[in-house]
Structure formats: structure tokens, C-alpha cells
Structure 1
């Protein structure tokens, strides 16, 4: 099981543990600590560290003190610093004391009323202490639950995103390989150099992007002398130089809606112009990376289109 899969499993289990009240607060903290370590969640690790080891009095944990419901007097900056394990021990001790005192006492004589009153006060103090501690524990668990829920959803989205990208990449790579021959080898080399921050790769990346667009147009809609008619719109010239027109003709032949055709044309037109005009001084490495990725995605969308049955793709 990979790290991400393990994190999803732990997060899912922990949410269920909290919802079904299967763990003590200290156990929730420990299990959440494992999740925080798996995903490298800095804020969650910081919060859980305070709950495990106690809170400092130097003002560095003010935010977490509030979220954990630990203020005794916020104006006076007084709060409960003990670790969650010590707090649970105090709660248990308080409950045992209450149980012991519930039987009442056999008081007689002149001091009977005073003794009974003090007995009741001790029960009230113990009950207040238990209630306060239970409230902190509940707030701590609620804070953990909110943060773990966020982590869980992020993990699920990341997993879905990775799965969708992997599926799409497989389809796009196959289509680009068919359309561009050895172009994928060039893509791999250039993308590696762009990741390394090699400035000399900028012009090569842009040139390769332009050639990918050209070769994709040749593959899906070879040049022809006769214009291509798109419904009632003006005829498109689809000669060797009309690369973008031929790609648009292909999307029309595949039955793509006008709004989607227009979006793809605008995207490829901007990319093609940028690739044709780009030089070392005009395009940074970061911009070249995005141009490269956008070209890959746009061509992938076009190359994976399927023409309707009976269509001859305008040829």
C-alpha cells in the first residue's frame, strides 16, 4: 500500500472512530498524529504536538488554545496547559471522587449542616472540573475532526485527479505517438531539461510545440486544395499553411459544438503565435513550461476526438 492509500485509510478510519465514539480523546490524538505524519500536514502536527505534550506559556500557541477551548480567562491570558492525557486522568479522578461522595455522609451534632454543605461543595467542584475537562476534550476532538475531514477530502481529490490524469495521459500519449512519430521522445528530453531549469531548452521546447501542432494537423486533416465548408459559416482554407484551420475543420468533422471549437481554436492560436514568436528574452522557463503543458493538453483533446460514423472528416 502506498503512502497516499495508507493516509486515506487512516483518515477514513479516524473519522469513523470519532463519529462512532470508539476512541478516547488521547487515542484520537495519537491516530491523528499518524495521519499528520503520513501527509506532512504542518498545522495538524503542531496542534497535535501541543495536545500530546502540553501547551507553552510563551504565547506561541494562542490560536490552538482557542480552537481547543482551553481558555480559563482570555483577558487575563490564563488557560489550561496540561496535555490531553493528563486532562483525561483528571477527568477520571474527578468522576471517581464524585462516585465516592454520592453516598453522602452521616453527619450529626451542631456541625452537621456545615459538614453537609462542604460535602455538597466538593461534589459541585468535582463536577465542574469534570465538565470543564470533558468540554475541552470535546472541543479538541471537534477540531481534529474538522482538520481530518479537510485532509481526507484533499486526499480523495488528489487520488481522483491522479487517476484521471493517468488515464488521460495514456490516451493522449498514444494519440501523439501516432500523430507525431518520434515527437514523444523529444517531449521527454525537453520536459526534463525544463524541469532542471535549463534556459537553452526554452526555444527548443517552443519549436517542438509548434511542430507538434503542425504534425497533429497533418495527421488528423491533411492539407487539401478545396476549402472546407462549416455549415453556413465561411469556407475555411485548408492548405498546407492553414494549420489552425485544418484543426478546426477536424473538430467540426467530429461533431464538436461551435463553442468548444472556438475555445480550442483560440487556445491553439495563442499557443501557436507564442511558439512562433518566442525567444530566450521573451519567454521565461516558467512560461515555457506552461506553454508546453497547455499544448500537450489542447492537442490531446483534439487527437482523442472521434468522428461520427459515416463521416469522412472533411476529406
Structure 2
């Protein structure tokens, strides 16, 4: 089994200049604030660089996605240097108990290392499952369960733990654990709605989006995440189908609270919950950039430093301004000394910022 795309990605992480020279040139071009990116010459240069990457058989979604470019664009995080070099710089800063060495910043190096580990683990798991399940349909549900567990762990570890415990509970011989599994399914779906589409006083398509309207909020999330206009009717049918399953799981869960349920009912509920979670998180993965962003007023100091590509000192000033003013918006962020157009652009890409 050949996975040349994975081999190329590994070569990039090891600093192979066959790939990194062109990738770095693309980043430099994209972040150059002196360039009018709508001009004909700028577009031609972008097309030339993309053509080179295509000739190198690099894939946009896999080898230079927005997430990958954001990680590599940070010189403080090591850029396109070898991951070994990046780990050495991080270890040096830990040993010296310093936040930076003037070029590399501990938090940005850490973000870079964690990203590479996470993606490498994801690819290793995918290859393992391809080898494990090739030529057989045995344990197909394990494939779905593993994928759902991994995605939910990335999104919300507490929800992932709930789902795994519910799966464990239905294998028990105790009926009270079956009932608890059903209750857990309902709470998990509510928690998933809270994470992906928090409660709002507004309505969407006539549907209330309050704290108790978690099914409606998941519908709203799906509406927002499925971007293809050509498949609008299909998407709508998909959402309604998904919503009906959520209602059924909810009813079974409520039954679990008030009456004795069988093991098969509990098992079906957990299996359907896994299907629902996998479906929703697929949309979360494919949702357009910016559709679900963390508010800059909830960002940690490390997140501000890493995502805005600013020094630790400037990140602290941003954090202090937020505490002082109660919240940040575009105007107040722009007024902070050291926050220039590039940082503002990166902030809007990474966070939700009130106007």
C-alpha cells in the first residue's frame, strides 16, 4: 500500500527543501501586506506557486491547508525547519526557563510540535485501520467508533469520555447502567449542541435556539456548515433526517430515566448516537473557515500570542486591555501599541471579533 501523500507530508515536517522552498514562497507571498492580492500580477504569482506545488504532487487540503500554513507561517514557531530542530529549540527554552530566545517562542514552538504530533497520529491511525480492515468487513463499527471518539476528543474531551462510558455501560449486566447510558446519550447531544452552536435568543427558520432547543441548534449548525448551494435540497433533507433521529434518541433517553429499558434499546441508542456524532463532526471538520470560531474575548494568553504571531509582551498588553475594557473589538484591538494590520488580519482569521 503506497501513501505517497503521507510520505511527502513527512518530508515537509523534516524540512525537505524540495517542498519547503515553494511552500515558504507561497506563505511569504500570501502574508505580504504590501501586495494587492486582487491585482492581476499577484494572482498570476499565486497561480505560478500553486502550479509548482501541483507539479510536486502536493495537495492543498492535505499538505498546505489553512491550518498547516498558519502553523508554518510563524517564524517564532520554527516555520518550515525540521521538526527535530523545532523540538531542540523548545527543549532549550524549557531548560533555560525562558519564554523565547529572540527568534523562537516557547508557546509557538509547542503549538507547532503538538500540531505535527496530532496529524502524524491521525495518519498513523488511518494507515493502521486500512491495513487492519482491508479485505474484511469484520469490526466495521470499530472503525466508526474510533473515528468518532478521536474527533470528539479533539472537540471536547469531556463529551468524548461520556460517549465512551455509555458504550461501556451497554455491555454491563446491570439494567441501571443501561438506563444511565441512555441518559448519557441525551446529555451528550445537549453538550454537543452547546459546544457547536451555543444558545441564542434568535430564531432560525422559525426555530427557537434557546438552551433547551438543542436539536434546533444542531440543525442550525448543520445549515451553516453545509455550504454547497447545488446540494441545498439534499442538505435540507439530510438535516431533517438527522433531526428526527435526535428526537428518537431523546425519547428513548427519557424512557431510560422513567422506566426500565432493555439492553437492546440501550445499545441501539448508543449506536445511533455514534452515527449522529460521526455525521455532525464530519460537518464540523468540513465547515468553511470562520463558521465556528472561538471569541477573542475567551482566548488564552498563549492562544493570542500564537494566533496573532505577536511577541509575548504584546500578547500581554492585549490580554490586559481586554481585562481593563471588559471585552475587545476590532477598534480597541487596533488601538493597542504593537498590533498592526497583519495581527488584525490573523486575529480575524483565528477568532470571532465583535465589530
Q: TM-score range by the shorter chain?
A: 0.3 to 0.5
Choose 1 or 2 for highest CA Rg. Answer: 1
So what's the TM-score if we normalise by structure 1?
A: 0.43
So what's the TM-score if we normalise by structure 2?
A: 0.39
Greater relative contact order (CA < 8 Å, ≥ 6 in sequence):
1
